[in-house]
Amino acid sequence: MFGSLRFLLAYLVILSHLVGTEYVAHFGFYAVRGFFVISGLMMTAALNEMYRFDGVRFWTNRALRLLPPYYFVCALTLLSITIAPEQAANYLKFWRSAPGAGDLLINLTVLPLQLTYGSFRFIPPFWSVAIEIDMYLLLFLVVSRQMSWALIALVAGLSFQLACIYDTINWDLDYFTAPSAVFPFAVGAALYFLRQRGRWIATPLAAGCAFAVWLANMVAGGLVFPASHIFGLGYLVDTICFAVVVSGLSGLSVHQFSPLIERIDRTLGEWSYFAFLVHWLAGFLVAAILFNGDWRGWTLLLAVTPVVLVASSALASLNRRFLEPLRDRVRRLCGPFRPAAPVSAPSETLPSLGAVAEANAN
């Protein structure tokens, strides 16, 4: 059921951006953190079970997954900004001037988006994907190769987080940088090794309770608890609770549910990345056409939601038609599935992650 969970996280990012109030801003922060935990688990599974650390095939498939849809939405965004530059400038600070050659280079090469320079961004939250690419490299080189390295990275990442909280280091460093992502990615990797070795998988009850606490912690921040909780203890609670949720889901298979639920979960998971890509552009078009410059709010969110769903469905259709055949060819070149670690639980109760890993991580 990772597909539905990933779509929920994507929608929380959309909500935090388009509603535009200070209270809901951290919903997106916590959702990105959740994406990182899922990616740590799924990419570790893909590297061990599918690619067996074949770098050429792994990076080829990652590029095919991430970049063509991104460039396509960037082109649509540039077209929209060119047609209505004044409205675009009022809508989003990153669209207040036409992109120069340096701006285009930064956006097209992706990795510089995680840094502070460059004032123009086609898709502002794509910095998080740049961070993910950094983490894929760390997973590929070290963390996903064995449990001990995952635990070392987990301790190092947690130490960085605690230092940021204790020393009240700037929030930008604690959230928008590669070191800040080490902890959740390492948590995901450790969950994979624990699962494969039969050491620990959260029960459905534990996962359900953890999800309830995760939601309550997010909603209470800024409403019941002060802002210091959001950016301090609450930030750690978010990751710990979400790790339990992800562990519990890793022990389930969609085949345990009805074919309809399985199809819905697969569809939502497929749409999640595209919804993440297109929501700023969809919000701009809806606000400019229907709301006459009312650029943020709950009404805008409700109006944009069906547009995002339709756009995500269209992008998913294009992806299936043109990109998935190429990715399938790369997967077939990787050879048959081979688990990387002994599995203690029976295969019928412990579904393989390798076959679904790349569909459930950005």
Evaluate if residue 343 carries a pLDDT over 50: no
Neighbours of 43 (CB within 10 A): 29
Question: Which one has a higher pLDDT value, 78 or 346?
Answer: 78
Res 334 pLDDT > 80:
no
DSSP string covering 19-63: H--TTTHHHHHHHHHHHHHHHHHHHHHIIIIIITT-HHHHHHHHH
Q: How far, rounded to the nearest angstrom, does the alpha carbon of residue 249 sit from its chain's CA centroid? A: 16
Average pLDDT over residues 154-180: 85
Percent of the chain scoring above 90 in pLDDT: 78
Question: Per residue in 289-306, is it b (16+ CB within 10 Å) or e — as a string?
Answer: eebeeebbeeebbebbbe
Does residue 108 carry a pLDDT above 60? yes
> Residue 325: what residue type?
P
CA distance 91 to 137: 35
Query: Which is higher by pLDDT, 10 or 354?
Result: 10
Q: How confident is the model at residue 344 (pLDDT cuts 50, 70, 90)?
A: very low
Mean pLDDT within 112-121:
85
- Give the tokens for residue 197: 């070795």
In this predicted structure, what is the pLDDT of residue 304?
Answer: 97
Separation CA 244–CA 200 (nearest Å): 10
Taking the C-alpha atoms of residue 355 and residue 358, their distance in angstroms, rounded to an integer, is 8
The Cα 62–Cα 44 span in angstroms is: 13
Residue type, 84: A
Closest CA to 35 of 122, 128, 120: 128
CB burial readout 104-135, b (16+ within 10 A) else e: eebbeebebbbeeebebbbbebbbbbbbbbbb
Q: Which of 267, 347, 357 is nearest to 312 (CA)?
A: 267
320: confidence class by pLDDT, cuts 50, 70, 90: very high
* C-alpha of 132 from chain center: 8
- List, in order, residues 6 or more apart from 191 with CB less than 8 Å away: 37, 40, 41, 243, 246, 247, 250
Average pLDDT over residues 220-244: 93
Distance between CA atoms of residues 219 and 117, nearest Å: 33
H helices present in 221-323, as ranges: 227-230, 233-250, 259-290, 298-318
What is the torsional sign of CA 28, 32, 38, 42? positive
pLDDT at 255 over 80: no
Determine the pLDDT at residue 149.
98
Residue 32 one-letter amino acid: V
Neighbouring residues of 166: CB distance < 8 A, sequence distance ≥ 6: none
